[in-house]
A and B are shown apart, each in its own frame.
Chain A
Amino acid sequence: EVQLVESGGGLIQPGGSVRLSCAASGFTVSSNHMSWVRQAPGKGLEWVSVIYGGGSAYYADSVRGRFTISSDSSRNALYLQMNSLRAEDTAVYYCTRGGSDQPFDSWGQGTLVTVSS
Chain B
Amino acid sequence: IVMTQSPATLSVSPGERVTLSCRASQSVSTNLAWYQQTPGQAPRLLIYGVSTRATGIPARFSGSGSGTEFTLTISSLQSEDFAVYYCQQYNYWWTFGQGTKVEIK
Contact = CB atoms under 8 A, between A and B. Distances in A.
Given A44-B99, A47-B95, A101 B90 contact: yes
A103 B28 CA distance: 13
Interface in B25-61: 31, 33, 35, 41-45, 48, 54
Contact of A105 (B48, B96, B97): B48
Interface of A: 35, 44-47, 50, 58, 94, 98-110
Contact of B94 (A99, A107, A108): A99
B42 A45 contact: no
A44 B88 CA distance: 11
B86 interface: yes
Given A45-B96, A104-B45, A105-B45, 8 more contacts: A35-B94, A46-B96, A58-B93, A101-B91, A104-B35, A106-B45, A107-B43, A108-B42
Chain A interface main SS type:
loop
Contacts of A46: 96
Interface of B: 31, 33, 35, 41-45, 48, 54, 86, 88, 90-91, 93-99
A47 B93 contact: yes
Contacts, number: 51
Contacts of B90: 98, 100-103
Residue among A35, A99, A100, A102 with the most chain B CB within 10 A? A102
Contacts of B95: 47
Q: Which 5 A-B pairs have the closest CB atoms?
A: A103-B33, A107-B42, A47-B94, A103-B48, A45-B96
14 contacts: A44-B97, A45-B43, A45-B86, A45-B88, A45-B96, A46-B96, A47-B93, A47-B95, A94-B43, A100-B90, A103-B33, A103-B45, A103-B48, A109-B41
B3 to A, nearest CB: 10
A98 B93 CA distance: 11
A2 B24 CA distance: 31
A62 B83 CA distance: 28
Contacts of B31: 101
